[in-house]
């Protein structure tokens, strides 16, 4: 392992390192009891594992970990990898009186989730450049320099975190509108093309937004919704053909096959005669 720069005092440790000629590709899980970590990947072929989440790495990617959050790197080649990292305690932020503010990205999320940040999420700088400035050289003022750039880095991470939250809220709102529209228009055309025109989004955007929020592809959701509605209609005396048409199926044979596969019965088996 080659250390290009390192600095450590009470409450902070920073390093720029290159690890090469690896014989063990999987490092062990580790965590820090009272320290927060920011990790910046510089070069190599690897992925980072935080708890049960696996993050493929590319140059410039940033990861954050809070105290107690288990993490490790997994290297895919023998040539090794290059990285920056900084570990710091909450106490070093107290002089700014913003420790709670800057620690939101680390603490206001589920453990092992939303650890990864892309360079494009930092419009004012790149994390790699900030780390390079922190690790520029050693002199008597290096502690002040590191603290100042750490402040800038944490502010950037906080802004990116808020941006992620707003994006998630917007995605969830759009998915909710889609769900409501689907429920109210089951008998109509709900193809990706028609939904794309309705919501002013591309088919790929619709698929991505819906899957992210609802957890299932939109086509699967629509089919399940239609079959459930058809089952209710059949049990209330509607004929199989009418149920097929009212629930948006244009082809009875396709409706029949889907119903048999999902429900396990023929549509006529669920029909209830009303006297």
Q: What is the pLDDT of residues 103-126, one digit of tens each?
A: 999 999 989 989 999 999 999 899
Confidence of residue 272 (pLDDT cuts 50, 70, 90): low
Whether pLDDT at 150 is above 60: yes
For range 32-57, the mean pLDDT: 92
pLDDT, tens digit, 9 for 90 and up, residues 19-28: 876 545 446 8
- If you average pLDDT over every residue of the chain, what do you get? 87
- As a dihedral over the C-alpha atoms of residue 68, residue 69, residue 75, residue 80, rounded to 10 degrees, the angle is -50
Confidence category of residue 161, pLDDT binned at 50, 70, 90? very high
- In this prediction, residue 188 carries a pLDDT of 92
Overall average pLDDT of the 169-197 stretch: 88
- The answer on pLDDT for 163 being more than 70 is yes
Q: What is the largest CA-CA distance in the chain?
A: 94
Decide: 118 and 61 in contact? Cβ < 8 Å: yes
Position 131 pLDDT exceeds 50: yes
Band of residue 152 on the pLDDT scale cut at 50, 70, 90: very high
Cα angle 113, 116, 119; round to 5: 160
pLDDT at 31 over 70: yes
Domains and CATH numbers, the chain: 2-165 (2.60.120.280), 185-275 (1.10.10.60)
pLDDT range class, residue 99, cuts 50, 70, 90: low
């Amino acid at each position: 392992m080659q250390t290009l720069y390192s600095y450590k005092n009470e409450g902070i440790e920073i390093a720029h390192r290159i690890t090469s000629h690896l014989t063990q590709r999987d490092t062990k899980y580790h965590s820090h009891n009272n320290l927060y970590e920011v990790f910046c990947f510089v070069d190599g072929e690897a992925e980072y594992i935080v708890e049960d989440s696996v993050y493929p790495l590319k140059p410039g990617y940033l990861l954050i970990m809070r105290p107690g959050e288990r993490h490790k790197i997994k290297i895919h080649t023998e040539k090794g990898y290059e990285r920056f990292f900084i570990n710091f305690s909450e106490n070093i932020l107290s002089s700014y009186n913003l420790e709670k503010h800057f620690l939101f990205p680390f603490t206001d999320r589920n453990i092992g989730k939303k650890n990864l940040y892309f360079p494009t999420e930092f419009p004012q700088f790149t994390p790699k450049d900030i780390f390079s400035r922190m690790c520029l050289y050693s002199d008597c003022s290096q502690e002040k320099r590191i603290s100042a750039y750490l402040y800038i880095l944490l502010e950037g991470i906080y802004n990116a975190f808020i941006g992620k939250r707003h994006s998630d809220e917007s995605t969830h709102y759009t998915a909710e509108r889609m769900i409501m529209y689907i429920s109210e228009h089951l008998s109509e055309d709900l193809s990706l093309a028609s939904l794309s025109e309705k919501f002013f989004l591309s088919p790929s955007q619709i698929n991505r937004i819906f899957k992210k929020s609802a957890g299932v592809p939109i086509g699967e959701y629509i089919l399940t919704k239609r079959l459930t509605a058809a089952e209710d209609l059949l049990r209330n005396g509607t004929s199989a053909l009418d149920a097929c048409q009212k629930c948006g199926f244009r082809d009875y044979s396709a409706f029949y096959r889907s119903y048999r596969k999902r429900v396990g019965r023929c549509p006529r088996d669920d029909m209830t005669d009303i006297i």
